[in-house]
Amino acid sequence: MAEASDSSLFGRWRSALGLAAGAPAQPTSAHAQPAQQPAPAKAPEAAPPAEPQAPAPGTPRTDADAAKHRRCERFKGKLLSSSAMVKFMMKELDKSGCPFVPEHFKCLPCGPSYSGGFAPEYGIVLCEDQIIDKSHLGDTMVHELVHAYDFCTVKLNFNSCANHACTEIRAAMLSGECRFSRELLRGHPGFSKHFQECVRRRAILSLKQKPLCRDSAEEAVRGVWESCFADTAPFDEIV
Ligand SMILES: [Zn+2]
Protein backbone atom coordinates (compact mmCIF):
# COMPACT_ATOMS: atom_id res chain seq x y z
CA MET A 1 0.00 0.00 0.00
CA ALA A 2 1.31 3.43 -0.85
CA GLU A 3 2.58 5.50 2.02
CA ALA A 4 0.70 8.55 0.84
CA SER A 5 -2.62 6.78 1.04
CA ASP A 6 -1.69 5.43 4.46
CA SER A 7 -0.94 8.92 5.68
CA SER A 8 -4.07 10.50 4.32
CA LEU A 9 -6.13 7.63 5.62
CA PHE A 10 -4.61 8.13 9.02
CA GLY A 11 -5.36 11.83 8.90
CA ARG A 12 -8.99 11.22 8.00
CA TRP A 13 -9.27 8.51 10.59
CA ARG A 14 -7.72 10.74 13.19
CA SER A 15 -10.02 13.64 12.42
CA ALA A 16 -13.01 11.33 12.57
CA LEU A 17 -11.94 9.93 15.85
CA GLY A 18 -13.26 12.23 18.54
CA LEU A 19 -14.83 9.21 20.11
CA ALA A 20 -12.70 6.22 20.85
CA ALA A 21 -9.90 7.99 22.63
CA GLY A 22 -8.57 4.80 24.01
CA ALA A 23 -6.10 4.08 26.69
CA PRO A 24 -2.64 5.51 26.83
CA ALA A 25 0.15 3.09 26.65
CA GLN A 26 1.63 3.00 30.06
CA PRO A 27 5.30 3.68 30.36
CA THR A 28 5.77 -0.05 30.61
CA SER A 29 9.22 -0.70 29.35
CA ALA A 30 9.96 -2.07 32.79
CA HIS A 31 7.03 -4.47 32.43
CA ALA A 32 7.59 -5.48 28.86
CA GLN A 33 9.09 -8.91 28.61
CA PRO A 34 9.94 -11.20 25.72
CA ALA A 35 7.06 -12.99 24.08
CA GLN A 36 8.61 -16.38 24.70
CA GLN A 37 8.12 -16.01 28.44
CA PRO A 38 5.20 -18.15 29.56
CA ALA A 39 2.39 -16.13 31.09
CA PRO A 40 2.43 -17.11 34.74
CA ALA A 41 0.28 -15.65 37.49
CA LYS A 42 2.22 -12.42 37.27
CA ALA A 43 1.99 -11.88 33.54
CA PRO A 44 3.79 -8.87 32.16
CA GLU A 45 1.44 -6.02 31.57
CA ALA A 46 1.18 -4.83 28.01
CA ALA A 47 0.36 -1.30 27.10
CA PRO A 48 -3.37 -0.72 26.93
CA PRO A 49 -4.79 0.24 23.56
CA ALA A 50 -5.36 3.89 22.96
CA GLU A 51 -5.99 6.64 20.52
CA PRO A 52 -3.04 6.95 18.17
CA GLN A 53 -1.57 10.25 17.19
CA ALA A 54 -0.75 11.25 13.68
CA PRO A 55 2.91 10.98 12.75
CA ALA A 56 4.74 14.22 12.17
CA PRO A 57 4.09 15.45 8.64
CA GLY A 58 6.78 14.52 6.21
CA THR A 59 8.37 11.99 8.52
CA PRO A 60 10.35 9.71 6.23
CA ARG A 61 9.66 5.99 6.36
CA THR A 62 12.80 4.04 7.07
CA ASP A 63 13.53 0.38 6.45
CA ALA A 64 12.89 -0.19 10.14
CA ASP A 65 9.47 1.44 9.81
CA ALA A 66 8.65 -0.76 6.85
CA ALA A 67 9.71 -3.82 8.81
CA LYS A 68 7.41 -2.82 11.67
CA HIS A 69 4.56 -2.49 9.22
CA ARG A 70 5.21 -5.94 7.77
CA ARG A 71 5.45 -7.43 11.27
CA CYS A 72 2.11 -5.88 12.21
CA GLU A 73 0.46 -7.23 9.06
CA ARG A 74 1.93 -10.67 9.66
CA PHE A 75 0.77 -10.81 13.28
CA LYS A 76 -2.61 -9.45 12.27
CA GLY A 77 -3.08 -12.19 9.69
CA LYS A 78 -2.12 -14.88 12.15
CA LEU A 79 -4.41 -13.54 14.85
CA LEU A 80 -7.35 -13.23 12.47
CA SER A 81 -7.01 -16.85 11.52
CA SER A 82 -6.02 -18.37 14.86
CA SER A 83 -7.02 -16.22 17.83
CA ALA A 84 -10.16 -17.63 19.43
CA MET A 85 -10.91 -14.28 21.06
CA VAL A 86 -10.51 -12.24 17.88
CA LYS A 87 -12.56 -14.71 15.86
CA PHE A 88 -15.27 -14.80 18.51
CA MET A 89 -15.57 -11.00 18.62
CA MET A 90 -15.63 -10.81 14.81
CA LYS A 91 -18.42 -13.38 14.74
CA GLU A 92 -20.40 -11.51 17.37
CA LEU A 93 -20.04 -8.25 15.48
CA ASP A 94 -21.29 -10.00 12.37
CA LYS A 95 -24.27 -11.41 14.26
CA SER A 96 -25.00 -7.94 15.62
CA GLY A 97 -25.20 -6.48 12.12
CA CYS A 98 -21.77 -4.81 12.06
CA PRO A 99 -19.59 -7.20 10.09
CA PHE A 100 -15.86 -6.66 10.40
CA VAL A 101 -13.45 -7.72 7.68
CA PRO A 102 -9.66 -7.93 7.86
CA GLU A 103 -9.36 -4.68 5.90
CA HIS A 104 -11.00 -2.88 8.82
CA PHE A 105 -7.78 -3.41 10.78
CA LYS A 106 -5.14 -0.97 9.63
CA CYS A 107 -1.51 -1.14 10.68
CA LEU A 108 -0.25 2.43 11.02
CA PRO A 109 2.45 4.29 12.94
CA CYS A 110 1.11 6.13 15.97
CA GLY A 111 3.95 7.53 18.06
CA PRO A 112 5.04 6.49 21.51
CA SER A 113 1.93 6.62 23.68
CA TYR A 114 -0.67 4.44 22.00
CA SER A 115 -1.26 0.92 20.84
CA GLY A 116 -4.57 1.09 19.01
CA GLY A 117 -7.80 2.95 18.38
CA PHE A 118 -11.30 2.61 16.97
CA ALA A 119 -13.38 4.94 14.80
CA PRO A 120 -16.62 3.70 13.25
CA GLU A 121 -15.94 5.21 9.84
CA TYR A 122 -12.52 3.67 9.44
CA GLY A 123 -12.32 0.67 11.69
CA ILE A 124 -9.50 -0.21 13.98
CA VAL A 125 -5.99 1.17 13.88
CA LEU A 126 -3.21 -1.08 15.13
CA CYS A 127 -0.14 0.89 16.10
CA GLU A 128 2.57 -0.93 14.21
CA ASP A 129 5.34 0.96 15.99
CA GLN A 130 4.15 -0.03 19.47
CA ILE A 131 3.59 -3.77 19.22
CA ILE A 132 5.41 -5.67 21.94
CA ASP A 133 4.59 -9.12 20.56
CA LYS A 134 1.79 -11.07 18.90
CA SER A 135 -0.04 -11.57 22.19
CA HIS A 136 -0.01 -7.83 22.84
CA LEU A 137 -1.41 -7.17 19.37
CA GLY A 138 -4.10 -9.77 20.03
CA ASP A 139 -5.08 -7.98 23.25
CA THR A 140 -5.19 -4.71 21.35
CA MET A 141 -7.41 -6.16 18.62
CA VAL A 142 -9.86 -7.57 21.16
CA HIS A 143 -9.84 -4.32 23.16
CA GLU A 144 -10.78 -2.32 20.07
CA LEU A 145 -13.29 -4.95 18.94
CA VAL A 146 -15.07 -4.53 22.28
CA HIS A 147 -15.37 -0.79 21.53
CA ALA A 148 -16.70 -1.68 18.07
CA TYR A 149 -19.16 -4.13 19.59
CA ASP A 150 -20.37 -1.55 22.11
CA PHE A 151 -20.70 1.04 19.39
CA CYS A 152 -22.68 -1.45 17.30
CA THR A 153 -24.99 -2.74 19.99
CA VAL A 154 -25.50 0.29 22.28
CA LYS A 155 -26.08 3.90 21.39
CA LEU A 156 -22.72 4.92 22.74
CA ASN A 157 -22.08 8.60 23.11
CA PHE A 158 -18.32 8.99 23.17
CA ASN A 159 -18.73 12.58 24.25
CA SER A 160 -20.13 11.30 27.51
CA CYS A 161 -17.37 10.42 29.93
CA ALA A 162 -19.71 7.94 31.65
CA ASN A 163 -20.42 6.15 28.34
CA HIS A 164 -16.78 6.14 27.44
CA ALA A 165 -15.78 4.92 30.90
CA CYS A 166 -18.14 1.98 30.49
CA THR A 167 -16.70 0.77 27.21
CA GLU A 168 -13.15 1.21 28.54
CA ILE A 169 -13.98 -0.89 31.58
CA ARG A 170 -15.40 -3.59 29.33
CA ALA A 171 -12.50 -3.44 26.89
CA ALA A 172 -9.93 -3.76 29.67
CA MET A 173 -11.94 -6.57 31.25
CA LEU A 174 -12.67 -8.62 28.14
CA SER A 175 -9.37 -8.28 26.31
CA GLY A 176 -6.36 -10.14 27.59
CA GLU A 177 -4.95 -7.04 29.22
CA CYS A 178 -5.74 -8.27 32.69
CA ARG A 179 -5.52 -11.94 31.74
CA PHE A 180 -9.22 -12.53 32.18
CA SER A 181 -10.32 -13.57 28.74
CA ARG A 182 -8.76 -16.99 28.87
CA GLU A 183 -10.56 -17.73 32.09
CA LEU A 184 -13.82 -16.58 30.53
CA LEU A 185 -13.33 -18.89 27.60
CA ARG A 186 -12.74 -21.71 30.04
CA GLY A 187 -15.84 -20.78 32.00
CA HIS A 188 -13.89 -19.72 35.06
CA PRO A 189 -14.19 -15.98 35.46
CA GLY A 190 -11.56 -14.95 37.94
CA PHE A 191 -12.99 -12.00 39.76
CA SER A 192 -9.97 -11.49 41.92
CA LYS A 193 -9.24 -8.21 43.59
CA HIS A 194 -6.09 -7.93 41.54
CA PHE A 195 -8.07 -8.32 38.37
CA GLN A 196 -10.58 -5.64 39.37
CA GLU A 197 -7.79 -3.26 40.24
CA CYS A 198 -6.14 -3.91 36.90
CA VAL A 199 -9.33 -3.20 34.95
CA ARG A 200 -10.09 -0.08 36.96
CA ARG A 201 -6.59 1.31 36.55
CA ARG A 202 -6.51 0.71 32.81
CA ALA A 203 -9.98 2.14 32.24
CA ILE A 204 -8.95 5.31 34.07
CA LEU A 205 -5.74 5.52 32.05
CA SER A 206 -7.71 5.21 28.83
CA LEU A 207 -10.21 7.82 29.82
CA LYS A 208 -7.53 10.29 30.86
CA GLN A 209 -6.35 10.34 27.26
CA LYS A 210 -9.50 12.15 26.34
CA PRO A 211 -9.18 15.84 27.23
CA LEU A 212 -12.87 16.12 28.01
CA CYS A 213 -12.61 13.39 30.65
CA ARG A 214 -9.08 13.92 31.92
CA ASP A 215 -10.04 15.52 35.20
CA SER A 216 -13.09 13.38 35.85
CA ALA A 217 -11.75 10.00 34.77
CA GLU A 218 -11.68 8.39 38.22
CA GLU A 219 -15.12 9.71 39.04
CA ALA A 220 -16.57 8.55 35.71
CA VAL A 221 -15.17 5.04 36.12
CA ARG A 222 -16.41 4.85 39.70
CA GLY A 223 -19.86 6.02 38.65
CA VAL A 224 -20.46 3.23 36.12
CA TRP A 225 -18.26 0.56 37.64
CA GLU A 226 -20.84 -1.83 39.03
CA SER A 227 -23.04 -2.08 35.97
CA CYS A 228 -20.25 -2.08 33.40
CA PHE A 229 -17.93 -4.46 35.21
CA ALA A 230 -20.84 -6.89 35.45
CA ASP A 231 -21.55 -6.65 31.72
CA THR A 232 -19.48 -9.33 30.00
CA ALA A 233 -21.49 -9.39 26.75
CA PRO A 234 -21.06 -11.02 24.34
CA PHE A 235 -19.19 -13.58 26.41
CA ASP A 236 -21.95 -14.72 28.70
CA GLU A 237 -23.41 -16.65 25.78
CA ILE A 238 -20.53 -19.07 25.66
CA VAL A 239 -19.82 -19.64 29.33
ZN1 LIG B 1 -10.07 1.66 24.78
Residue 42 forms part of a structural domain: no
Q: Where are the alpha helices (DSSP H) in the chain?
A: 3-17, 63-82, 84-95, 134-153, 161-174, 181-186, 193-208, 217-229
pTM for the complete prediction?
A: 0.75
Residue 16 forms part of a structural domain: yes
Q: Is 33 exposed, middle or buried (0-12, 13-18, 19+ CB in 10 A)?
A: middle
Pairwise pLDDT comparison (120 vs 147), residue with the higher score: 147
Residue 166 forms part of a structural domain: yes
Neighbours of 5 (CB within 10 A): 9
Q: Which listed residue (144, 177, 183, 226) is catalytic?
A: 144
Range of the domain at 135: 3-21+48-54+63-231
- The rounded Å distance from CA 143 to ligand 1 centre is 6
Q: What is the pLDDT of residue 177?
A: 85
> What are the tens digits of pLDDT across the range 46-65?
445 555 444 555 556 789 99
Q: Find residue 124's DSSP bridge partners.
A: 105, 118
Contact yes or no for 46/23 (Cβ under 8 A): no
Residue 154 forms part of a structural domain: yes
Residue 148 forms part of a structural domain: yes
Domain total of the chain? 1
Of the chain, the percentage scoring pLDDT greater than 90 comes to 55
Residue 120 forms part of a structural domain: yes
Q: What is the pLDDT of residue 143?
A: 96
- The rounded Å distance from CA 22 to ligand 1 centre is 4
- The rounded Å distance from CA 48 to ligand 1 centre is 7
Residue 205 forms part of a structural domain: yes
Q: Give yes or no: 128 in active site.
A: no
Residue 41 forms part of a structural domain: no
> What are the tens digits of pLDDT across the range 98-142?
999 999 999 999 988 788 999 888 899 999 999 999 999 999 999
- The rounded Å distance from CA 152 to ligand 1 centre is 15
